[in-house]
Amino acid sequence: MNTTVSDVEIKGATKQFGSNIVLDAIDLEVKQGELLTLLGPSGCGKSTTLNLIAGFLEADQGDVYIKGKKVTKVPPYKRDLGMVFQTYSLFPHMTVYENLNFGLKLRKISKAEQKEKIDRVLALVKMSGLEHRYPRELSGGQRQRVAIARALVVEPELLLLDEPLSNLDAKLRHELRLEIKRLQKEIGVTTIFVTHDQEEALSLSDRVVVMNAGKIEQISTPTSIYKHPKTEFVFQFIGKSN
């Protein structure tokens, strides 16, 4: 049977902080293996959406499904996901190796298997040989590579990236953007990427979700968003450069 598997589904999610309606009845489907980007200006609700998927926040109304299973009340650690934030989320007192091993230690696997997994994922993000460094001994770009490696080492169903490149300089941002795209296709992990940078979104994604003030304006491929903006907001926002 030819059914399209959707890895994540949000149905009618509304979230309010005080009197501020931050998400207004959002519907979203993320397909298996795709790289979907949430794009929109600061404050439009991108991180809130990601946090609903991760389970750090619960919607006031609506539900979240992962692999068809309702997870609205399931805590983050049971959702099988890897997450990377804008600011460095590495443990400063642990080496690269220890950072990566943190999540693996909970698994019942041998030391040799741990090492094998860590070596493999460090090679993927081009950080082989640096496993004994501390985060302070790495550049910003290297730290984000390690943060991505740490999210991937547990082989999550879902990878959530919240503006992982925003703190890097333009050249590095561009370089790492291409790396993430390559890596995502190589591993095939379903990925949700958040950014306020339209160029980043258009160059990286299989599909882009343009958000504005708690609502979804358009969901489409980069080409289609670029060529056929559905609303005045999308037209204006895509036309702007950073």
Q: Is 47 in the site for Mg ion (CB under 5 A)?
A: yes
Q: Is 45 in the site for ligand ADP (CB under 6 A)?
A: yes
CB closer to Mg ion, 47 vs 205: 47
CB closer to Mg ion, 22 vs 96: 22
Yes or no: say if 44 and 213 are a contact pair by the CB < 8 Å rule: yes
Stretch that binds ligand ADP, among 43-51, 68-76, 88-96, 111-119 (CB under 6 A): 43-51
Q: What is the DSSP secondary structure assignment for residue 122, as one 8-state letter?
A: H
> Can you tell me which residue has the tokens 């094998």?
116
Q: How many residues does the chain have?
A: 242
Q: How far apart are CA 138 and CA 131, in angstroms?
A: 11
Yes or no: say if 202 and 239 are a contact pair by the CB < 8 Å rule: no
Q: Which single residue brings its beta carbon nearest to Mg ion? A: 47
- Give the distance from CA 189 to its chain's centroid: 11
Q: Is 17 in the site for ligand ADP (CB under 6 A)?
A: yes
By CB under 6 A, name the one of 30, 46, 189, 222 that touches ligand ADP.
46
DSSP string covering 11-33: EEEEEEETTEEEEEEEEEEEETT
Stretch that binds ligand ADP, among 37-45, 95-103, 221-229, 230-238 (CB under 6 A): 37-45
Q: Is 47 in the site for ligand ADP (CB under 6 A)?
A: yes
Binding partner at 129 among Mg ion, ligand ADP, none, C-beta below 5 to 8 Å by kind:
none
Residues that bind ligand ADP (rule: CB under 6 A) add up to a total of 11
The number of helices, as runs of H, and strands, as runs of E, in the chain is: 8, 10
> Can you tell me which residue has the tokens 């041998």?
110
Q: Which residues bind Mg ion (CB under 5 A)?
A: 47
Q: Which residues bind ligand ADP (CB under 6 A)?
A: 17, 20, 22, 40, 42-48
